[in-house]
Amino acid sequence: MGRGSTGVTEDTSPFRGPEAASRTQEIQAVLRNVGRRQWWLWSTAVMVTILLTLGIASFAFPGLLDNQQGESLYSFNLDQAVRGLVGLVLVFNVYTIYQQLQIRRMQGALVQQVSALDKVEARTEEVYKLALLDSLTGLYNRHCGEQRLGAEIARARRNGVPLTVIMLDLDDLKVVNDKFGHAAGDQLLKFFALRLNKAIRGSDLAVRLGGDEFLLLLPECKPQEVSHVLGRLSGLELELDDQKIPVTYAAGWATYTPGETAEELIGRADKELYVKKRESKGREEPATVK
């Protein structure tokens, strides 16, 4: 199975709490009320138009009615009829103005409700990020990583699919902090986190465990495919004060064995990481002495 280079697709839809749900119901109620008022307004307009048409027709064809019936079917005071129609138009205009004012008031209330809902969602998203994401790098934090690992182990056990975890330890973070300052160290961590996200698929998970330690969860990833991920993390360089700093790391990985726990899986990957770090230091010692 080939591994794409897309980054993690984070679930940015925040949990909608009771307050947000309540405001959503209020907005829906206002919209229904506005719809009813608009329907009554249009219905009244149609009724008034029909009545005015009938009234005007009665003025235009009195002779026709007289000729057909031989005598007038009705008699009316023209002046009173005109006053009645004028009164009907005035009442309708007053009613229309009132309904428009009510609709505008509801629209204003709707705008306020939407604004309040946006604020609730913004606060909820902040809580979501604090609960699940590492504040510095934007990767998932240790707690979220542990929960996801438990879920992926259960899925691997249930479906019989492979699951690989990679432990990574970033090199020389302390050296960068001492030489360039902690702001540069933070920049290094952010840079490495960004590259981690670009090296994995959307179904994978990149986690910052703390300090310079990271974890990658790779569902349905076979051991021979790990090299593809790590290959995308080779040759990295970070520019600091017009200097190019090589970004290197040590990595250890393990593939889930049926029956083992999350702690055992992580423990095996951590042991492999420790071996890789010792081998790396052993290769560097002759150069350091020289």
Looking at residue 23, its pLDDT comes to 61
Give me 247's structure tokens.
């970004």
Phi/psi region, residue 241 (left: phi>0; alpha: psi -120 to 50; beta: rest), is left
With a cut of 60, say whether residue 238 has pLDDT above it: yes
Looking at residue 282, its pLDDT comes to 62
How much is the average pLDDT of 41-70?
A: 61
Identity of residue 114: V
Q: What is the full DSSP assignment across 110-151? A: HHHHHHHHHHHHHHHHHHHHHHHB-TTT-SB-HHHHHHHHHH
Looking at residue 71, its pLDDT comes to 43
How much is the average pLDDT of 259-288?
A: 81
Task: Give the catalytic positions in this structure.
Answer: 212
Domain spans of the chain, in order of start: 18-132, 142-289
Measured between alpha carbons, how far is residue 102 from residues 17, 41, 93 in Å? Answer: 31, 11, 14
**CATH number 3.30.70.270 given to 142-289:** yes
* Contacts with 9 (C-beta within 8 Å, 6 or more apart), sequence order: 202
How much is the average pLDDT of 164-184?
A: 93
**22 alpha-carbon distance from chain centroid:** 19
